[in-house]
C-alpha cells in the first residue's frame, strides 16, 4: 500500500511540471507579469517528515504549571508553555530519536476544532536553536476532529501543490502527553519563514498575513483589521497590503488591470479553482476565511490555502457570489473569470491524471488501524469508513459537476487579424463549449460582438453579427497606418461571455502617389503624378496632397504646398512649384492625406 502511495507522489510531481511549466491554458494567454511559476519544494532535509505513508511517534511532557496555563487558553488567548519533546521516526538513514528537548507548546484551533485538555487538543510546537528537526522551527499538529476520514487535508493540500499553489506538506503522528496516548494527528507543515523560503526563495518575503472571518465580523478593506494577522514581517508597516486593498476598490472597468499589477492572477485563480472543486466552504472563495496572503520584496501578492479539514463534503457552484471581494469581483470581470475557468478545467484534468480518488482510498486504508486505536477519536470507525468512501466518491464526481458547469461557460474564442481588400479582416475560432455532452446548453450564445479601437483610445467601437455560428467580420471604418486593438465577445442577450484576448494590428499605408515625375522650365518645376484607381473608397479629387522641397545639399525639408488638387482629364495630377534659386538643384517629395491617414512619401529629383 505504501509503495503505491509513493508511486502516486511521483506521478503528481510529473503532472505538476506539466501544469506549472506553461503559461498558455485553454485559450488564455497569461503574461509573465501576471504569473510566477511555483514548484513544490523537494529535496530539503525535512522532506521525509512530510511523508503521509509514515506515522511518527511524538511525546510531550508537561508540568502542572504548564497544564494549568494551557487550561486557561481560549479562542482569543493561547500562550506558549514549557514542554519536553521527543520523537521517534523512520528517517532516510534509519530509525532515529529526536530529543528529549525543552521546547514551547500552545493549543491551537478555532470554532469547531478548538479543544482543551484532556480532550484531543491541537498544538503548535516551537523549537529553540540547537534543538530542531532538520532545520524546522515549528511543528503544527492538527487534531482532525472535523474530519472523520483523516484524509481531507492531505489530499487537498496535495492538489493545491500540484496546481502550483504554495501549500503545506503533510505527514502523520501519534501523540502522547505525559504518557497518555492521544491518538492520530496530522503533522501539517507550518507556514513560517522556513516553508516560505522553500517556495519563494531566501529573503523574498515582506509579509505573510493570515486572513480570517471577513464574511463574519471583520472588515476586508481595513489593512489593520484583526482579520489580517501578521505572521511574518513588520506589523506596523503594511504599505504593501494598503496598496493591494486600494487597488481592489477599483471599479469594474479598471479593476483587473490595476489588481494584476500586485496580485499573481494565475496563483489566485488556481487557488480558488481548487477551493471550489474540493468544496472548501470555509476558504477564501466562499467564506473569506482560512487563507494567507504572501507579499514578496516587490510588494507582489500570492494567496495560500489553510484549514482544509472540511473539504470533499459539499459542492458549490463554481461562480456563486459568496467569498472575498477579490473572488467576487473576478467572477464579474471577463479576463479574470476566463483565467478562473481555465484553472477549473486544469484542476479537473489534474485530479483525473493523479487518480486522486484512488489515492484517497489507499491513504485511508493505510490509516484505518490508527483510527481504530485512537483513544481520543470523536467519531466512530463506522463514521470514518463512511466519510472515507463518500470523500473519495466526491473527488471523482466533482469532475463531472465541473464539466457540467463548463458546458454552459463558453470557451473564449481565439482571433486572428489580417488586411484584405483594404479592410481589417477579423476571424475567430468557432464557438465551443467543454466536452461534456450537453445537447442544448441553457443561456446559449446568440451573437458575436467585435470591439475595436485605436491604440491609446479609451473608447471601444463595436459591431454585432447576429449569428452564433459566425467566425469572421470585415471592418471597413479603419485608417491606413493606424494601430488598432481588436477583441471578440460571444454574447447571450446583453450578457458578455469570455472575451478573446486583445490583439493589435497596424493597417497598411496606401500608396496614393504613382508615376511621379518632374520637369523644370525657367524658375519653376512641374510635378506630375498619377493616383491609383482605388483610394479605399475615397473619390479621386477629394484627396489632399502635401508637397515639400529641399536643396540637395540641405537636410531640412520645406513645405511648399498642402491642399486639394483637382485631377486633370488625363488622369494625372500636376502642381507647379517656384524655385527659390535657378542655380541650385532640388528634390521634392509628395504624399497624400486622406481620411484614412497619411500615405508614404514619394521623392523625385529635379
CATH of the domain at 469: 2.60.40.10
List of the chain residues with pLDDT < 50:
1-29, 32, 215, 434-442, 534-540, 595-596
- Note whether 160 and 272 are same-domain residues: yes
What is the Cα–Cα distance from 402 to 395, expressed in whole angstroms?
Answer: 11
Question: Domain range for residue 562?
Answer: 514-605
Q: Are 577 and 527 a contacting pair, CB within 8 Å?
A: yes
Residue 43 lies in a domain: no
Domain boundary among 402, 436, 469: 402
Alpha helices in 220-355 (DSSP H): 239-248, 255-259, 265-277, 284-287, 325-330, 334-354
pLDDT at 226: 76
Residue 81 lies in a domain: yes
Residue 440 lies in a domain: yes
- Note whether 473 and 388 are same-domain residues: no
- Note whether 319 and 202 are same-domain residues: yes
- Note whether 526 and 501 are same-domain residues: no
Residue 408 lies in a domain: no
- Note whether 57 and 117 are same-domain residues: yes
Sign of CA dihedral 209, 212, 218, 221: positive
Residue 296 lies in a domain: yes
The H-or-E segment that residue 156 falls in is: helix 152-162
DSSP 8-state symbol, 411 = B
Report how many domains make up the chain: 3
What is the Cα–Cα distance from 396 to 394, expressed in whole angstroms?
Answer: 5
Strands (DSSP E) contained in 387-541 are 415-420, 423-428, 447-454, 461-465, 472-475, 483-492, 495-496, 503-506, 514-521, 524-530
What is the Cα–Cα distance from 213 to 414, expressed in whole angstroms?
Answer: 40
Answer yes or no: pTM beyond 0.85.
no
Q: Taking Cα atoms as reference points, which of 397, 433, 415 lies closest to residue 313?
A: 397
Torsion of CA 40, 384, 145, 126, to 10 degrees: -40
Domain boundary among 506, 538, 554: 506
Burial of 448 (0-12, 13-18, 19+ CB in 10 A): buried
Alpha helices in 355-468 (DSSP H): 356-372, 381-406
Residue 561 lies in a domain: yes
- Note whether 452 and 536 are same-domain residues: no
Q: Taking Cα atoms as reference points, which of 426, 419, 478, 480 lies closest to residue 449?
A: 426
pLDDT (tens digit, 9 = 90+) per residue, 587-603?
A: 988 877 764 456 667 78
What is the Cα–Cα distance from 62 to 58, expressed in whole angstroms?
Answer: 13
Residue 410 lies in a domain: no
- Note whether 242 and 308 are same-domain residues: yes
- Note whether 167 and 311 are same-domain residues: yes
**Beta strand pairing status for 170-177 and 55-61?**
parallel
- Note whether 488 and 380 are same-domain residues: no
Residue 424 lies in a domain: yes
pLDDT at 263: 96
Domain boundary among 506, 524, 559: 506
- Note whether 449 and 489 are same-domain residues: yes
For the record, the C-alpha cell of 359 comes out as 489515492
- Note whether 548 and 440 are same-domain residues: no
What strands, in cross-sheet order, belong to the sheet with 228-232? 228-232, 207-211, 291-295, 301-305
- Note whether 497 and 559 are same-domain residues: no
Instruction: Name the 3-class secondary structure at 405.
Output: helix
Amino acid at each position: 500500500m505504501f509503495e503505491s502511495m509513493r508511486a502516486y507522489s511521483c506521478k503528481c510531481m510529473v503532472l505538476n511540471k506539466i501544469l506549472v511549466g506553461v503559461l498558455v491554458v485553454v485559450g488564455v494567454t497569461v503574461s509573465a507579469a501576471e504569473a510566477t511559476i511555483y514548484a513544490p519544494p523537494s529535496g530539503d532535509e525535512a522532506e521525509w517528515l512530510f511523508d503521509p505513508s509514515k506515522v511518527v511517534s511524538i511525546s510531550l511532557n508537561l508540568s502542572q504549571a504548564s497544564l494549568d496555563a494551557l487550561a486557561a487558553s481560549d479562542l482569543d488567548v493561547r500562550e506558549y508553555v514549557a514542554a519536553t519533546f521527543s520523537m521517534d521516526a523512520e528517517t532516510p538513514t534509519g530509525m532515529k530519536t529526536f530529543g528529549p528537548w525543552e521546547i514551547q507548546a500552545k493549543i491551537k484551533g478555532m470554532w469547531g476544532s478548538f479543544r482543551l485538555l484532556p480532550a484531543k487538543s491541537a498544538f503548535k510546537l516551537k523549537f529553540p536553536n540547537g534543538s530542531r528537526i532538520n532545520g524546522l522551527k515549528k511543528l503544527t499538529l492538527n487534531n482532525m476532529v472535523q474530519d472523520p476520514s483523516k484524509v481531507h487535508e492531505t489530499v487537498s493540500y496535495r492538489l493545491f501543490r500540484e496546481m502550483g499553489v504554495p501549500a503545506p506538506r503533510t505527514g502523520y503522528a501519534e501523540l502522547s502527553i505525559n504518557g497518555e496516548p492521544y491518538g492520530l494527528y496530522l503533522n501539517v507543515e507550518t507556514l513560517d519563514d522556513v516553508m516560505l523560503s522553500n517556495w519563494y526563495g531566501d529573503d523574498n518575503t515582506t509579509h505573510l498575513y493570515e486572513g480570517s472571518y471577513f464574511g463574519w465580523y471583520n472588515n476586508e478593506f481595513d489593512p489593520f483589521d484583526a482579520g489580517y494577522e501578521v505572521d511574518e514581517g513588520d506589523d506596523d508597516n503594511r504599505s504593501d497590503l494598503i496598496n493591494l486593498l486600494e487597488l481592489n476598490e477599483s471599479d469594474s472597468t479598471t479593476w483587473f488591470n490595476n489588481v494584476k499589477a500586485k496580485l499573481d492572477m494565475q496563483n489566485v485563480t488556481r487557488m480558488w479553482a481548487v477551493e471550489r472543486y474540493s468544496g472548501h466552504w470555509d476558504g477564501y472563495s466562499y467564506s473569506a476565511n482560512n487563507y494567507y496572503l504572501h507579499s514578496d520584496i516587490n510588494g507582489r501578492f500570492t494567496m495560500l490555502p489553510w484549514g482544509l479539514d472540511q473539504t470533499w463534503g459539499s459542492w458549490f457552484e463554481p461562480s456563486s457570489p459568496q467569498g472575498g471581494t477579490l473572488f467576487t469581483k473576478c467572477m464579474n470581470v471577463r479576463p479574470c473569470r476566463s483565467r478562473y475557468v481555465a484553472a477549473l478545467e486544469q484542476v479537473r484534468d489534474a485530479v483525473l491524471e493523479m487518480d486522486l480518488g484512488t489515492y484517497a482510498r489507499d491513504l485511508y486504508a493505510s490509516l484505518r488501524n490508527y483510527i481504530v486505536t485512537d483513544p481520543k477519536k470523536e467519531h466512530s470507525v463506522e463514521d470514518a469508513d463512511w466519510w472515507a468512501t463518500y470523500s473519495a466518491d466526491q473527488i471523482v464526481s466533482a469532475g463531472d459537476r465541473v464539466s457540467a458547469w463548463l458546458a454552459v461557460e463558453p470557451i473564449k474564442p481565439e482571433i486572428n487579424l489580417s488586411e484584405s481588400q483594404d479592410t481589417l479582416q477579423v476571424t475567430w475560432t468557432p464557438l465551443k463549449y467543454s466536452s461534456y455532452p450537453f445537447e442544448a446548453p441553457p443561456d446559449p450564445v446568440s451573437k458575436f460582438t467585435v470591439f475595436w479601437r485605436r491604440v491609446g483610445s479609451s473608447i471601444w467601437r463595436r459591431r454585432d453579427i447576429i449569428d452564433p455560428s459566425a467566425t469572421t467580420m470585415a471592418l471597413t471604418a479603419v485608417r491606413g497606418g493606424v494601430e488598432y486593438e481588436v477583441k471578440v465577445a460571444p454574447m447571450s442577450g446583453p450578457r458578455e461571455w469570455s472575451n478573446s484576448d486583445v490583439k493589435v494590428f497596424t493597417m497598411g499605408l496606401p500608396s496614393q502617389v504613382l508615376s511621379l515625375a518632374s520637369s523644370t522650365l525657367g524658375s519653376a518645376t512641374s510635378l506630375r503624378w498619377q493616383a491609383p484607381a482605388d483610394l479605399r473608397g475615397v473619390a479621386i479629387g477629394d484627396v489632399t496632397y502635401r508637397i515639400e522641397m529641399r536643396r540637395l545639399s540641405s537636410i531640412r525639408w520645406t513645405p511648399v504646398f498642402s491642399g486639394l488638387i483637382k485631377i486633370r482629364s488625363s488622369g494625372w495630377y500636376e502642381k507647379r512649384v517656384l524655385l527659390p534659386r535657378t542655380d541650385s538643384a532640388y528634390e521634392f517629395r509628395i504624399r497624400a492625406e486622406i481620411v484614412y491617414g497619411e500615405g508614404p512619401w514619394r521623392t523625385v529629383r529635379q
